């Protein structure tokens, strides 16, 4: 079975995570896919496949006799889909021999335009998989799961010698909680790769340093007719706070290694208001400076309106994995060589976000990220090609072959 055929099945399982949940996993529905994957792994010959109480799916393929001393390599993908857009009742559309032109998404009225996404021209002639415009696709990261599963099937049914191979599927990656209960020792790998990136030729080993920021504004509400020198309008104070942040350091005006402040939610009235942000930067010093900018803005608000008017809570989420990958750059060498062997031109891409691998690297499992062949994740314009997924499967084989050859 080709990887894209598996993807078509997996995306129909509703697995969206919930950032407001207090449980782990954040949604019980993620177990629905986990159980399917365990059964499939067992059918493929992964006898120790299992899902634990925290919804982690683990399994392993023992080393070929004589190859037990080779590095144990893991491949990891996540089961949840992003809560940014509807992930229920996904209806994937398969478009064979794609013509490289604008893509009309069913009857939704949405169109993926070449003018907005020039990479579409490079996909001409491929088998394209996209949404009907009413949901996301879920290729982030069910494509990674499908690619790993296809690799597992192929290598078990081949006579290719290899070291130990570890397989892991995680919940709640999209809300930053994927590694919360990940048992690195039980997983059993010396090193691993997440298969959770974009284009199939991408190799990612730098990511944002990340934090969330919640800012609460406590106002003074009084009849507007009697408000002079008394009222403190929390909603207006919140606007004043946001205006103190650098206006060009937002996602829509940054790219590459440039960090940002991203206002993701706002609510409130005269008495109380709340702003929620995420803070991102690849550079640790600039990241720390961004947090100081927020602290300074909060202090100014309290100086102007009284102590306690502004309450700022910043929580670090994950760090740039590069410092943990640098001592193990052979992992990147493996990925680059495997891509070349698959006929691709590998490209190192800085992640403008994070992955399970970022946190796992700091938990003692160095874990760079490989592309999946997908584009435009987290929304209705998400798409992927069957051929791109096939390439990723070849890359996984290539990495294992390189490890076995050492």
Cα 384 to Cα 3, 14, 130, 198, 364: the distances in Å are: 11, 19, 7, 9, 32
Residue 224 shares a structural domain with residue 364: no
* Residue % of the chain over a pLDDT of 90: 97
Among 267, 293, 315, which residue terminates a domain?
315
Together in a domain, 297 and 222? yes
Of the residues 140, 141, 147, 173, only one is catalytic, namely 173
Mean residue pLDDT across the chain: 97
Same domain, 95 and 223: no
pLDDT tens for 9-37 read: 999 999 999 988 999 999 999 999 999 99
Residues 247 and 344 in one domain: no
Residues 16 and 105 in one domain: yes
Q: Using the 3D structure, point to which of 263, 282, 315 is the last residue of a domain.
A: 315
- Answer yes or no: do 72 and 179 share one domain: yes
Structure tokens belonging to residue 353:
């976000």
What would the mean pLDDT of 213-237 be, rounded to a whole number?
96
DSSP state of 7: H
Residue 353 — pLDDT band, cuts 50, 70, 90?
A: confident
Q: Do 370 and 236 fall into the same domain?
A: no
Number of domains in the chain: 2
Is 226 in the same domain as 127? no
Q: Which of 225, 176, 186 is nearest to 57 (CA)?
A: 186
Half-sphere exposure at residue 355, Cβ-oriented, CA atoms within 13 angstroms: 32
* pLDDT for position 8: 98
Cβ atoms of 10 and 138 closer than 8 Å: yes
Say yes or no: 188 and 120 in one domain. Answer: yes
Sheet holding 209-218, edge to edge: 260-268, 272-281, 209-218, 310-318
Whether residues 151 and 203 fall in one domain: yes
The range of the structural domain enclosing residue 276 comes to 212-315
* Cβ atoms of 162 and 66 closer than 8 Å: no
**Residues above pLDDT 70, as percent of the chain:** 100
Which of the listed residues 295, 315, 335 is the one where a domain comes to its end? 315
Known catalytic residue at 200: no
59 and 190, same domain (yes or no): yes
Do 31 and 108 share a domain, yes or no?
yes
CATH of the domain at 18: 3.40.630.10
pLDDT in tens, 236-253: 999 999 999 999 999 999
* Nearby residues of 266 by Cβ (< 8 Å), 6 or more positions away: 238, 273, 274, 275, 276
Q: Domain containing 301 — which CATH number?
A: 3.30.70.360
What is the predicted pLDDT for the residue at 278? 95
The whole-angstrom separation of Cα 152 and Cα 149 is 5
pLDDT of residue 330: 97
Answer yes or no: 206 catalytic.
Answer: no
Average pLDDT of the segment spanning 64-90? 97
Structural element, H or E, at residue 288 = helix 284-305
SS3 content of the chain, % helix, strand, coil (to 5): 35, 25, 40
Structure tokens at 271: 């008495």
Catalytic residue from among 80, 140, 204, 356: 80
Give the global pTM. 0.91
314: β partners: 213
Per-residue pLDDT band for 124 (boundaries 50, 70, 90) equals very high
């Amino acid at each position: 079975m080709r990887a894209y055929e598996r993807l078509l099945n997996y995306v129909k399982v509703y697995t969206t995570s919930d950032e407001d949940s207090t449980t782990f996993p954040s949604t019980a529905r993620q177990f629905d896919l986990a159980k399917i994957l365990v059964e499939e792994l067992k059918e493929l010959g992964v006898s120790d496949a299992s899902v634990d109480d925290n919804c982690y799916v683990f399994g392993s393929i023992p080393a070929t006799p004589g190859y037990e001393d080779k590095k144990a390599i893991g491949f990891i993908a996540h089961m949840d889909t992003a809560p940014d857009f509807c992930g229920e009742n996904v209806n994937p559309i398969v478009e064979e021999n794609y013509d490289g032109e604008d893509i009309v998404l069913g009857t939704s009225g949405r169109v993926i335009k070449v003018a907005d996404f020039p990479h579409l021209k490079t996909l001409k002639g491929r088998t394209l998989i996209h949404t009907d415009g009413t949901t996301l696709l879920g290729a982030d990261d069910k494509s990674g799961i499908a690619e790993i599963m296809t690799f597992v099937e192929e290598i078990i049914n081949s006579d290719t010698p290899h070291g130990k191979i570890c397989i892991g599927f995680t919940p709640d990656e999209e809300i930053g909680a994927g590694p919360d209960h990940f048992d690195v020792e039980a997983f059993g790998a010396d090193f691993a790769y997440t298969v959770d990136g974009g284009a199939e030729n991408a190799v990612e080993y730098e990511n944002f340093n990340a934090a969330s920021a919640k800012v609460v504004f406590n106002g003074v509400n009084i009849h507007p007719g009697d408000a002079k020198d008394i009222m403190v309008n929390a909603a207006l104070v919140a606007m004043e706070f946001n205006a103190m942040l650098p206006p060009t350091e937002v996602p829509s005006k940054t790219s590459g290694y440039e960090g940002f402040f991203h206002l993701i939610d706002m609510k409130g009235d005269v008495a109380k208001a709340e702003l929620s942000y995420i803070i991102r930067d690849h550079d640790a010093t600039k990241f720390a400076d961004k947090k100081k900018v927020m602290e300074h803005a909060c202090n100014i608000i309290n100086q102007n309106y009284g102590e306690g008017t502004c309450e700022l809570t910043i929580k670090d989420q994950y760090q740039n994995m590069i410092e943990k990958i640098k001592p193990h750059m052979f992992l990147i060498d493996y990925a680059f060589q495997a891509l070349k062997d698959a006929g691709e031109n590998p490209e190192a891409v800085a992640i403008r976000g994070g992955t399970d691998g970022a946190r796992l690297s700091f938990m003692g499992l160095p874990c760079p990220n490989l592309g999946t062949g997908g584009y435009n994740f987290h929304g209705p314009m998400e798409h992927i090609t069957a051929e791109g997924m096939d390439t990723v499967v070849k890359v996984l084989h290539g990495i294992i072959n390189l490890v076995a050859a050492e």
